[in-house]
Amino acid sequence: MSLPHAILTALLEKPSSGLELTRRFDRSIGYFWSATHQQIYRELGKLEQAGHIRALPAPVPSRGQKKEYEVLPAGRAELTDWVRRSEDPKPIRDALLLRLRAAAVVGTEGFADELRRHLALHRAQLEEYRGMEERQFPPERRTTEADRLRHLVLRGGIELERFWTAWLEEALAGFDDGDR
Amino acid sequence: MSLPHAILTALLEKPSSGLELTRRFDRSIGYFWSATHQQIYRELGKLEQAGHIRALPAPVPSRGQKKEYEVLPAGRAELTDWVRRSEDPKPIRDALLLRLRAAAVVGTEGFADELRRHLALHRAQLEEYRGMEERQFPPERRTTEADRLRHLVLRGGIELERFWTAWLEEALAGFDDGDR
DNA sequence: CGATCTTATGCAACTTGTTGCACAAGGGGT
DNA sequence: ACCCCTTGTGCAACAAGTTGCATAAGATCG
């Protein structure tokens, strides 16, 4: 039940069209929630029906025309309520760890390459996030409550990538000993 | 497409019934993949139909009777193939980070308590994993390839919990400054 | 011997996320 | 004028995960 709330948050930060939201989900929102444009359009429809958001009046409302949405008071109330509810962390589901465990049973042939590939991807992601941190949250922008919180969320994304790169490096060190 | 492979791996490690698998998913398998008993029974049916596993002959095959499964050669081949395929890491979807970002917009009232609650849960999980590491992977059991890999997977679970506890502590430190 | 608890398997309905494709308007090039 | 690329919205079918409930056998206890 998180996608509608992700959309409400994004729209409160800035009213947008479906495609704009998709792009924001691919970029900055992506470090804590991902979604395809299909999910977003479907959810925008539901949120509008529920009276949580509305389409801003457009000059030419027809297919293929941009449609901007903004959050209505009911939507803000729902989001506020959701943030206040308590919710347990979901158990992990990570395919790479699973595949490594499977490799322990059926053999690790070629697996070091896959680990190296993932390491490169996570290093790139880490660099991108660190760039965003420098650009969007220089020390002078870490004073207001909202900026401090947004920075904290980005720090979560950064530290998570750091965990992956560290773990992959540890894993590869073991492979280099025993697999070459 | 990972659940069937998680089940194949578990069954290769030890043939089990549906409920036994469920318990194993709640325990040791849980640090890299989670599943409910419903998912498991459904998937066992599909895997049996596909000829990847088979039920061991039971004395009294009727409803409510334990049914053990073992992996067939075709199942092992499928798992081997899956481990060798390359697969990109999935983008993050974390509700707590999302809720914190939402809190930056609608207010953080009561959020520190939620962070403390999560911190306690992650600390408990971390302790449990560390206990498992001590019991299941003492230094003398880190020599064979398979044990080394299984230990590495557990290390992933441990380091991930360590990331969460560290991030939550950092987050709470900020809250104590600005929110009390 | 009947009530109730535990173990064990499973169906059905629902929600969430993914994939592939269709449709429409406008701009740019040739 | 025509083609193709980009922007933008959207349907439909499918795959994966969740929730609530039903069923049945065996053990335990009064």
Q: Considering the domain boundaries, does residue A79 fall inside one?
A: yes
Q: Considering the domain boundaries, does residue B90 fall inside one?
A: no
pLDDT confidence of residue B59:
54
Quick one: A36 and A80 in the same domain?
yes
CA–C1' nearest nucleotide, residue B19 = C8
pLDDT per residue as tens digits for the range A9-21: 999 999 999 899 9
With contact defined as beta carbons under 8 Å apart, do B116 and B175 qualify? no
CA–C1' nearest nucleotide, residue B4 = D16
Number of domains in chain B: 2
Banded model confidence at residue A53, pLDDT cuts 50, 70, 90: very high
Quick one: A48 and A24 in the same domain?
yes
* Nearest residue, CB atoms, A30 vs list B88, B91, B157: B91
Which domain, by its residues, includes B17? 3-84
What distance in Å separates the CA atoms of residue A156 and residue B98, rounded to the nearest whole number?
Answer: 11
* Nearest residue, CB atoms, A117 vs list B86, B152, B157: B86
Among candidate residues A155, A153, A90, A33, the one with its CA nearest the CA of residue B121 = A90
Q: Which of B98, B115, B159 is the best residue to mutate to test the A interface, defined by the most A CB atoms within 10 Å of its own CB?
A: B98
Among candidate residues A84, A162, A160, the one with its CA nearest the CA of residue B103 = A84
Q: Considering the domain boundaries, does residue A27 fall inside one?
A: yes
pLDDT confidence of residue A33:
96
Place of tokens 């890491």: B89
Q: Which of A36, A59, A84 marks a domain boundary?
A: A84
Residues A151-158 have a mean pLDDT of: 96
CA–C1' nearest nucleotide, residue A91 = D17
Quick one: B110 and B171 in the same domain?
yes
Quick one: B26 and B70 in the same domain?
yes
Quick one: A79 and A111 in the same domain?
no
Hey, what are B148's tokens?
A: 């080394």
pLDDT confidence of residue B66:
78
What distance in Å separates the CA atoms of residue A32 and residue B142, rounded to the nearest whole number?
Answer: 35
pLDDT confidence of residue B58:
59
Quick one: A136 and A69 in the same domain?
no
Quick one: A145 and A126 in the same domain?
yes
Nucleotides in D strand less than 7 A from protein CB: 7-13, 15-20, 23-26
Residues whose CB is less than 8 angstroms from the CB of residue B98 and which lie 6 or more positions away in sequence, other chains included: A2, A5, A6, A9, A32, A33
Q: Considering the domain boundaries, does residue B89 fall inside one?
A: no
Q: Considering the domain boundaries, does residue B136 fall inside one?
A: yes
B86/A32 Cβ within 8 A: no
With contact defined as beta carbons under 8 Å apart, do B5 and A98 qualify? yes
Quick one: A103 and A170 in the same domain?
yes
A32/B97 Cβ within 8 A: yes
Q: Which of A84, A104, A121 marks a domain boundary?
A: A84
Quick one: A119 and A152 in the same domain?
yes
Residues of chain B with C-beta less than 8 angstroms from the C-beta of A167: 155-156, 159
Q: Considering the domain boundaries, does residue A165 fall inside one?
A: yes
Quick one: A35 and A76 in the same domain?
yes
Size of interface A-B (CB pairs under 8 A): 200
Quick one: B13 and B58 in the same domain?
yes
Residues B132-143 have a mean pLDDT of: 88
Q: Considering the domain boundaries, does residue A90 fall inside one?
A: no
What distance in Å separates the CA atoms of residue B166 and residue B119, rounded to the nearest whole number?
Answer: 9
CB-count exposure of residue B44 (10 Å: 0-12, 13-18, 19+): buried
* Nearest residue, CB atoms, A2 vs list B76, B95, B157: B95
Q: Considering the domain boundaries, does residue A89 fall inside one?
A: no
> Rounded to a whole number, what is the distance in Å from the CA of A61 to chain B's nearest CA?
30
Q: Which of A84, A105, A125 marks a domain boundary?
A: A84
With contact defined as beta carbons under 8 Å apart, do A126 and A158 qualify? yes
pLDDT per residue as tens digits for the range B64-89: 567 899 999 999 999 999 999 999 99
Closest-approach residue (CA) in chain A for B178: A145
Quick one: B25 and B64 in the same domain?
yes
CATH number for the domain spanning A30: value is 1.10.10.10
Which single residue has its CA nearest the C1' atom of nucleotide D18?
Answer: B36
CA atoms within 13 A on the CB side of B28: 18
Identify the helix (H) or strand (E) that includes residue A118: helix A111-136
With contact defined as beta carbons under 8 Å apart, do A58 and A35 qualify? no
